[in-house]
Structure formats: structure tokens, C-alpha cells
Amino acid sequence: MSDVTTSTGNGGETHQQASGDAPVLTTNHGVPVGDNQNSLRSGERGPTLLEDFVLREKIFHFDHERIPERIVHARGSGAHGVFEATDDISDLSKAAVFTKGEKTEVFVRFSTVAGGAGSVDTPRDVRGFAVKFYTREGNWDLVGNNIPVFFIQDAIKFPDLVHAVKMEADRAYPQAGSAHDTFWDWASLMPETTHMLMWAMSDRTLPRSLRMMEGFGVHTFKLVNAEGKASFVKFHWKPRLGIQSTIWDEALKLQAADNDYHRRDLWEAIDTGAFPQWDLGIQVFDQDFAEAQPYDVLDATKLIPEEDVPVRLIGTLTLNRNPDNFFAETEQVAFLPTNIVPGIDFSNDPLLQGRLFSYMDTQKSRLGTTNFHQIPINAPRCPMHNFQRDGLMQTHVPKGRANYEPNSLAAHGEDGGPRETPAGFATANAATGPGEQGDKLRIRAETFADHYSQARLFYRSQDEHEQAHIASSFVFELSKVGVLEQVPPRMVANLRNVDENLAKRVADGLGIELPEKSKAAKAPVDMAPSDALSIHKNMKPTLEGRAVGILIADGTDAAELDAVIKAVEAEKARAVVVAPKVGGAKLSDGTVRKADGQLAGSPSQIFDAVAIVLSDAGCAALVKEAAAVQFAMDAFGHLKAIGASAAAKPLLDKAGVEPDAGVTDLGAAFITAAKHRFYDREPNVRTLA
């Protein structure tokens, strides 16, 4: 039965009246609407009347449908799911969420950090990994990233980090990237960023899929049992599909191919029942262990090697339902580190302590203005200078790009902004209040002074290909630094504290002399390499959850094509047939095989491996097709397996595909090869630092 009846008004507009099961259209207050096509006028051609409450409500709501985006983590993708506790840790925590067998509903939001809500999914960037547990004792929010460490040790530096990495204040570019002056100016002046920079310049910031990246709580928390005994804990999310990354050139081309690559991948996986899963792991240790380490466990720029404290898996997270409405759920969800439940507690991590304040404030700012101090009744009567800028209802017009410190902009004649003064406010250094213990100080513990040892650990834990990627990433990013010519040498000087070979490679790639090593606040020490820190050493030889692009054309052997598809699907991978025309191709047996994607819109960078199944005639046609040549060229350049029929050789030759272990025929060797990337090929296809 039709749910509407249709009629045409005097002006030809279409009116749909409710009938059958269709509900009646109303205002937000339930008043039935008789005409949703025409506003109320004074006469046929007269002015619109203010009394038209239907029009006013509709336009008013439309004008306010968007709220200010998040300052960081603006672009996100979310999903519903369930967390099931699988191990008894009642000796460590009394939290109900950890009761063995307990199932807890969750909402998870993944995000990029630097870009705005309208940016793309695949830049080199940290990924947010925030989980809201709807436990029976209240909400617990575990707000983390896909990297276990952070850029800074103290929350007071967070505004400077974000100001520096965001688009530059005077020109509003670049968007969603750190390869520019202000970020590297700031980072090179902040040695504590070095460990995180190793991770940021690695392939960890180029994930293949949100489903294939790890998550970390970053901070040291506490678990508290029923007797009140507390233990230190770090939280880990381990993806069931293993970790996988793209490479830089591939990520760049993915931006052109599909701005929503990660969002689409997550949605489609859940929509087709391939529910993403992670195991929740914990590293638990006591005060004795903490005091015995050469680093401070409360320092967010440090990790605890898994070889020292193994990760114990205690539960499984399954994402099984996509949001019903993006704005209502993914956009409006508010994660607060202060959302905590009995059995979990905070440590004195100074970065965590700062976050406990800022998140509540951040959520409120999305509903109002951060510039309430500019309202006359609130405004100071004395001069005011700081680096806080922008926000709703900003009435000041700051000039220049100095919205972070430390900076060295004044060395180039730019306004560097205000500076600290010894005469500034200082907290009274006495413990006089009830329950207070010790002095109140603005100070870093000496145990936080080692900024390079774990950066060295991370770099030396990578294999040679990952190290090459890190060096090349530094070269690319620092090559984008403009007039601040002192910044690249300063950054390389810091890198000499990490690894001499790394520093030399970066200096050579930039074409600069190797600078003198910067003075370390605390001399770095060598730590045993940790295989857990390497993507390449932890990649699973599997096709599960991956996609294989199969290029065909008229004349393709039908049996050969079917065999490839069957073999790919047997590995729980998705076989995607690509053809010059979306209608498909006429195969050798006379049948027409419809394509899943048209060649020009389905480049090889959206696949994990490719098979090229062509006849002599089909190959002769595609050799003249730039998209087909690029399809093979990019697959080879992105180090992917290429399976090809014998007739496809002219296409491979034109694309510059050279024989190696990853270039095979279409038999079993291809399926084996498709489970890997062939990093040994990379020096032959691009220049690395």
C-alpha cells in the first residue's frame, strides 16, 4: 500500500499527504503541518509574514544544525559494539566491567588529530582510539591513540603542540599535515617530542585500516581491588586482524581515490558482518618495578617494553553495529577521561592530570564560547598578552603566526609574542592545607629528563625498511620548512641523540651539513630492541580482511578468473573485479562478467594485492590505457603482490614491473605472495633517505 497520496498545487509544487501507514508531518512541538511547500504570505505576491511559525521553526533549526567541531580529533568515525571480559582479574580490580563473562555495551570513535571535520582519512597523523564503556557502575571512557606514547610530558604544553601542528595562524594552511614551519620549529625546540616523532614518522601513522591498528591508553592508570590494593596499569588494544600500514606514496594516492577510505572500510566491514575485533590487554606492575626502571612510568613520552612486562589479554571488543545517525552519535559523543568507575583510578601522570580538566572544558566550549573573558564585564583593565586565539565571538584580530612557544620566529623579524617573567605568579611553596603533603612546585622530576633513550629504542627496533621510511619521512617533512632555516639543522641535531645513522641520512636527504649534536638533558642509554614496536615484525601472513583487485578485459579466460576469485575468497579476503567499463567484460566463454569497479575509479592503491587476468587481445587494448598502466605501476611501486596471466606481460613491461618474489603467475604462488608486502623492492622504485 502506498504511504502517501500526491497532489499538485497551483504553482506546480508537489504535495504529499499522509495516508495508510505514513505519519503526519508536524512541527517540533507536534503541531500538524498542512503545507510544507509554501510560506505564509500577505496576498499571492506579498511579503512573507512573521507569524509563519512553520517557516521560522524550519529555518531556525536548519541554521543551527551544526555545532563547532572539535579542536583536535575533529574528523572521526564511530561504531557500536560490545566488550566481553574473558579473564578473571578480581585480584587486581573490583571494576564490574572486568568481571569474567560480563558483556558491556560500548561506543568507539576513531579519529585523525590534526585535520578538520572535512579533511581526509589518510594523512600521516596519529589516530584517536576512544572507547566509551556503558558499564553497570557508570560510564568509563578510555580515551587513547594508536600510538602508546605522546609528544609532551606536561599538559601545560598541549595548546602549544596543537597550535604548532595545526594550519599556520596567519595563512590557514596546510590542512591535516605536520610538514610545515611551525610544527617543526616547536618540535625541534622540545626534545621530549623525539620518541613520539619516531612513531609519527613511522608507518604507524599510515594505517591500512582502522580495523588493523593497535590502540593504547597512553597514560599509566591504576587498578584497585576490593581490599583497596592498587597496581599500576597500561591499557592496550590488539587487533585480531593484526596491524598493517600503507606506504607514503600509496597514502597520497588514496586521498585522491577516496577521501573516506577508512570510514568506508569500517562501515562496510560491519555492514557485511565482518565485525572488527580487538583484545584488551593490560601491563600491570608495582611500585618496586616502577622505581627500578631507567625512565619514569608516569612519563607519557615513555612506554614499558612488552619484553619487560608482557601484555595480558583480559577481554575482547567487537564492533557490530554502525551508527543510525552520524551527527547524533559520532559527532555528539563526548569522551571524558574523568568518566571513571570503581576499581580504576588515576596516577599522577602530569599529562593525564591536565586532561582530567581539559576534556570537560572542551565539551562545554562546543556549546558556547571560549572568549567569555572578552565580554566587557569580564575583560581585564590591564594589558593582556598570551597565545590563546580564535574561538567563537573572537573580537581581537591577532596578527602573525606566533601562537605557540617556545618559538624562534623573532630571529627572522617576526613577532615572537610574549614571554615568561620571573616576577610572574608563583604558587606558595608550602603544605599548609589539611591533607596536603609535600611542596607545590612547577617542576619536572629529574626522572622525566631522558628524552632520547626510548626514541632510540623505537628506531632500533624497526627493521631496515621501516628505518628507511622514518628517515625519508623526516626528510619530506623538514623539506617543507620555509623561511626558518635554523629549524631543520636543529631537528637533525636532536636526532643525533637517537641514532647517528638516522641523523646522517636525514641531513644528507636535506642536503645540509651534519650539525653538532644537541645537548641532552639526560644522556640516553641503550635499551634492548623490542620486536613488539615494529609493524613489519608483527604483520600476519594473511589475506583475511584484505581486498584483492582483479583486472580483466574482453577475452579474459573465464576459468582462470573463477579460479583466482575462488582462491582469494577461500582466504577470507574480498575479490574485487575491475574492468575498463563498469558493465564488465565479455569473457572467453562468451559470458559477460559484471565489474565491481570501473578501472579509472578503482586504482590499485585501494587493494592489498592485484591480479591481472588478460588475454592477448585484452592486454593489447589495455597497454594503450593509462589507467591500466598506472594500475600495475602503482601496485608494483606500493610493494604489493602482482599475479598476472602470461598474456599480461606487455602491460607489466610498460608499467616497469620487474620480476621479483612478489610478481607471480596466477596460481598458489600468488595467494602466498598476496599475504605480504615486498619491501626489498622499494629501493628500486623510489629514492629513500
Query: In this predicted model, what pLDDT tens digit does every residue of 276-288 receive, in sequence order?
Result: 999 999 999 999 9
CA atoms within 13 A on the CB side of 64: 8
> How confident is the model at residue 81, as a pLDDT?
97
525 band by pLDDT with thresholds 50, 70 and 90:
very high
C-alpha cell at 600: 579509472
437 band by pLDDT with thresholds 50, 70 and 90:
low
380 band by pLDDT with thresholds 50, 70 and 90:
low
429 band by pLDDT with thresholds 50, 70 and 90:
very low
What residue ranges define each of the domains in the chain, with the CATH number in brackets? Answer: 4-63 (4.10.91.20), 76-182+193-365 (2.40.180.10), 451-533 (1.20.1370.20), 547-684 (3.40.50.880)
423 band by pLDDT with thresholds 50, 70 and 90:
low
pLDDT of 52 > 50? The answer is yes
> How confident is the model at residue 680, as a pLDDT?
95
User: Does residue 406 contact residue 384 with C-beta atoms inside 8 Å?
Assistant: no
CA distance linking residue 123 with residue 57, whole number of Å = 40
Question: What is the arithmetic mean of pLDDT over 494-507?
Answer: 98
33 C-beta neighbours (distance < 10 Å), count: 12
Q: Which is more confident, 452 or 406?
A: 452
DSSP output for 31-94: PBPS-SS---BSSTTSPBPTT-HHHHHHHHHHHTS--PPPSSS-SEEEEEEEEEE-S--TTT--
CA distance linking residue 224 with residue 142, whole number of Å = 16
User: Does residue 338 contact residue 360 with C-beta atoms inside 8 Å?
Assistant: yes
Q: Which is more confident, 56 or 600?
A: 600
Question: What is the arithmetic mean of pLDDT over 150-161?
Answer: 89
Position of cell 616523532?
Answer: 197
> How confident is the model at residue 26, as a pLDDT?
87
Lowest-confidence region among 77-91, 321-335, 430-444, 588-602: 430-444
CA distance linking residue 479 with residue 316, whole number of Å = 43
> How confident is the model at residue 145, as a pLDDT?
97
62 band by pLDDT with thresholds 50, 70 and 90:
confident
526 C-beta neighbours (distance < 10 Å), count: 9
Q: Which stretches of 529-641 are assigned E, i.e. beta strand?
A: 547-551, 574-579, 585-586, 592-593, 597-598, 609-612
Question: What is the arithmetic mean of pLDDT over 87-102?
Answer: 96
pLDDT of 430 > 50? The answer is no
DSSP output for 274-300: ---EEEEEEEEE-HHHHHHSSS-TT-T
pLDDT of 85 > 90? The answer is yes
User: Does residue 145 contact residue 215 with C-beta atoms inside 8 Å?
Assistant: yes
Q: Which is more confident, 386 or 136?
A: 136
Q: What is the pLDDT of residues 644-659, one digit of tens each?
A: 999 999 999 999 999 9
Which among 184, 201, 252 has a CA at the least distance from the CA of 479? 184
Task: Give helix then strand counts, H and E, for the chain.
Answer: 17, 20
CA distance linking residue 555 with residue 330, whole number of Å = 47
Q: What is the pLDDT of residues 666-682, one digit of tens each?
A: 999 999 999 999 999 99
**Mean of the per-residue pLDDT values of the chain:** 90
pLDDT of 256 > 70? The answer is yes
- Of the segments 60-64, 119-123, 444-448, which one has the largest average pLDDT value? 119-123
Neighbouring residues of 395: CB distance < 8 A, sequence distance ≥ 6: 371, 374
Residues forming the active site: 73, 145
CA distance linking residue 594 with residue 160, whole number of Å = 53
> How confident is the model at residue 387, as a pLDDT?
75
409 band by pLDDT with thresholds 50, 70 and 90:
confident
Query: What 8-state DSSP symbol labels residue 346?
Result: E
Question: What is the arithmetic mean of pLDDT over 293-306?
Answer: 96
Q: Which residues pair with 235 in a beta bridge?
A: 282
Query: What is the percent of the chain where pLDDT is above 70?
Result: 92
Q: Which is more confident, 72 or 478?
A: 478
Question: What is the arithmetic mean of pLDDT over 139-156?
Answer: 93
Query: What 8-state DSSP symbol labels residue 387?
Result: S
Question: What is the arithmetic mean of pLDDT over 579-591?
Answer: 94
Tell me if residue 255 falls in helix, strand or coil.
helix
Q: What is the pLDDT of residues 304-352, one digit of tens each?
A: 999 999 999 999 999 999 999 887 788 878 788 888 888 999 888 888 8
C-alpha cell at 661: 618474489
Question: What is the arithmetic mean of pLDDT over 595-609?
Answer: 96
Query: What is the percent of the chain where pLDDT is above 90?
Result: 67
pLDDT of 420 > 80? The answer is no
pLDDT of 182 > 50? The answer is yes
> How confident is the model at residue 127, as a pLDDT?
97
pLDDT of 531 > 80? The answer is yes
> How confident is the model at residue 279, as a pLDDT?
98
480 band by pLDDT with thresholds 50, 70 and 90:
very high
CA distance linking residue 103 with residue 101, whole number of Å = 6
375 C-beta neighbours (distance < 10 Å), count: 11
Lowest-confidence region among 44-58, 158-172, 383-397, 581-595: 383-397
User: Does residue 470 contact residue 502 with C-beta atoms inside 8 Å?
Assistant: yes
DSSP output for 175-212: SS---SHHHHHHHHT-GGGHHHHHHHTSGGGSBS-GGG
CA distance linking residue 106 with residue 169, whole number of Å = 37
pLDDT of 435 > 50? The answer is no
